[in-house]
Amino acid sequence: MLYIIEDAINGILMGSIYGLAALGLTLIFGVLKVINFAHGSLLMVSMYVAYWAVTLTGLHPYIALVLVVPVMFIFGYLLQDIVIKPIFKAEKNVREPITVIIVTTGVWYILDNLTLLIFGPQYRNLEANPLRGKMLELGEMLISVPKLWGFGAAVLTTLAIHLFLQRTATGRAIRATSLDREAASLMGINAYKIYNLAFGIGTAIAGVAAVALVPFYNVFPTVGVLFDIKCFIIVVLGGLGSIGGALLGGIIIGLIESVAPQFMAATWTEAIVYGLFLLVLFVKPSGIFGVKHDW
């Protein structure tokens, strides 16, 4: 029993970081109505930014947030403004333009391989950071400290995004655009500007996830791919576009990955995750918790 509690705690902590990684994806989907296949790559870029920020300045990884978040926000904002917006303009009349999916995949290829060209295929790792390898002893249970920090970051970010969308004028404009683009633009909201903003914020959240990951995880050019599909599954489980759903979806995946291997080979958990994913799609496509959009 104690084992299962220990595994569940690890699952919740790791899962919350998955959720944090997926949060940006769900926000971007909620507003732009397209799946951003470059999301894993944006996470990868963020991890490199975080890695270099910490390595060059010697700061505590979480202090590096002040650097990583704005850099990634600008990166995402410009990416949407320069690369993706023109396609939206060309496909004005389509609600979920498939061409944009293809473009984000193009961005994925470019970012991953540009990173390979610039930084090489090596695996990097923040060797000396104050969080690395720290474990919290709780009786007989061991809990990873960097994952605990990641959990905190995930919960706070989710809360902050929720409040931002509910309480601020910009947040309300984003919500209005996501619900009805035409109506919003009639009310004087510049939809494309909102798209840029949403993409920037979504990428900045990937930056937060990267900061949560680098203290204990490897950085390499194809690292984003490992998180890509996981993020898609999470946002569907939680309901595409649902902010709280991303966190909960992530925790579900984390729990399956952490608890299920105690009863079967670890390789089968992947199959369980896909099975659950399909089940949710068939039974309740709006996600386990989702109304269509809860914001």
Partner 1 sequence: MNILQKIAVPVVAFSMLAGTSAFAENVKIGNIEPMSGPSASLGQQGKAAREMAVEEINAAGGIKSLGGMKLELIYADSESKPEKGVAEAERLINTEKVHLLTGCWNSAVTYPTTAVAERYGIPFVVPVSVADKITEQGFKTVFRIAAKDSWWTRDQFAFLKDMQAEFNTPVKKLAFVYENGDWGTGFAAQWKKLAEEGGYEVVLDEPYPSTSTDLSPVVQKIKRAKPDVLLLTSNAADAILLTNTLAEYNVQLKAIIGSGGGHADPSFMKAVGKNAAQIFDIGEWETDVNKPGAKEANEKYKAKYGQNLSGEAVDAYLAIYVIADALERAGSLEPAKILEALRATDLSSGPGMIVGYDKVAFDETGQNKHAALVIVQVNDTGNGLERITVWPKNARRAGYTPVFPMAVK
Partner 2 sequence: MTRNTLQRLLPLALLATVLCLPLAVRSATYLHIMILVYLYAYLTTSWNLVGGFAGVLPLGHAAFFGIGAYTSTILSLQYGISPWLGMLVGGVIAAAVGVLIGLPTFKMRGAYFALATIAFAEGFRVMVENIDKLGPFALNGPRGLQIPPLNFGLAEMMFSGKEPYYYIILIMLVAVLLLTSFISRSKLGYYLNAGGEEPEAAMALGINVARAKVIAMAMSSFLTALAGTFYAQLNLYIHPKSAFSLDLSFEIAFIALIGGRGSIVGPVLGALLLRPVSDFSRIYFGDTLPGMHLIIFGVILILVMTFQPRGLQEPLTRLYERLLDRLSGERRAA
Residue whose tokens read 């009349």:
93
Write the interaction track for partner 1 spanning residues 188-227; mark x where CB under 8 A is met and - where it is not.
----------------------------xxx-xxxx-xxx
Q: Which of 99, 122, 166, 262 binds partner 2 (CB under 8 A)?
A: 99
Residue 55 binds to partner 1 (criterion: CB under 8 A):
no
Minimum Å distance from CB 102 to partner 2?
5
Q: Of the candidates 240, 179, 208, which has an alpha carbon nearest to the alpha carbon of residue 29? A: 240
In the complex with partner 2, which residue's Cβ is closer, 22 or 69?
22
Distance in angstroms (rounded) separating the CA atoms of residues 245 and 294: 9
Q: Which of 29, 62, 216, 220 binds partner 2 (CB under 8 A)?
A: 29
- State the Cα torsion 146-150-152-157 to the nearest 10°: 160
In the complex with partner 1, which residue's Cβ is closer, 186 or 265?
265
Residue 18 binds to partner 1 (criterion: CB under 8 A):
yes
Q: In the chain, what is the straight-line distance between the N-terminal and C-terminal CA atoms, in Å?
A: 38
Query: Residue 49: what are its φ and ψ, rounded to 5°?
Result: -60, -45
- What are the helix and strand counts (H, E) for the chain? 12, 2
In the complex with partner 1, which residue's Cβ is closer, 152 or 193?
152
Residue 275 binds to partner 1 (criterion: CB under 8 A):
no
Dihedral sign of CA atoms 90, 96, 102, 106 in order: positive
Touching partner 2, residues 224-263 (CB under 8 A): 229, 232-233, 236, 240
Partner whose footprint covers residue 226, from partner 2, partner 1, none (CB < 5 to 8 Å by kind): partner 1
CB 254 within 8 A of CB 20: no
The tokens for 40 are: 């894993």
What would the 3-class secondary structure string for 124-147 be?
A: ECCCCCCCCCCEEEECCEEEEHHH
Residue 59 binds to partner 2 (criterion: CB under 8 A):
no
Residue whose tokens read 């991303």:
246
Which residues, in sequence order, are CB contacts of 100 under 8 Å at separation 6+?
Answer: 32, 34, 84, 87, 88, 91
Touching partner 1, residues 117-146 (CB under 8 A): 120-125, 127, 132-133, 135, 142, 144
Touching partner 2, residues 272-291 (CB under 8 A): 274-275, 277-278, 281-282, 285
Q: Which of 81, 91, 270, 294 binds partner 1 (CB under 8 A)?
A: 270
Partner whose footprint covers residue 149, from partner 2, partner 1, none (CB < 5 to 8 Å by kind): none
Side chain identity, residue 79:
L
Distance in angstroms (rounded) separating the CA atoms of residues 177 and 199: 13
Burial of 263 (0-12, 13-18, 19+ CB in 10 A): exposed
Site residues, partner 2 (CB under 8 A):
29, 33-35, 83, 86-87, 90-91, 95-103, 105-110, 112-114, 116-117, 121, 221, 229, 232-233, 236, 240, 265, 267-268, 270-271, 274-275, 277-278, 281-282, 285
Residue ranges that bind partner 1, judged by CB under 8 A? 3, 6-7, 10-11, 14, 18, 113, 116, 120-125, 127, 132-133, 135, 142, 144, 216-218, 220-223, 225-227, 230, 254, 257-262, 265-267, 270
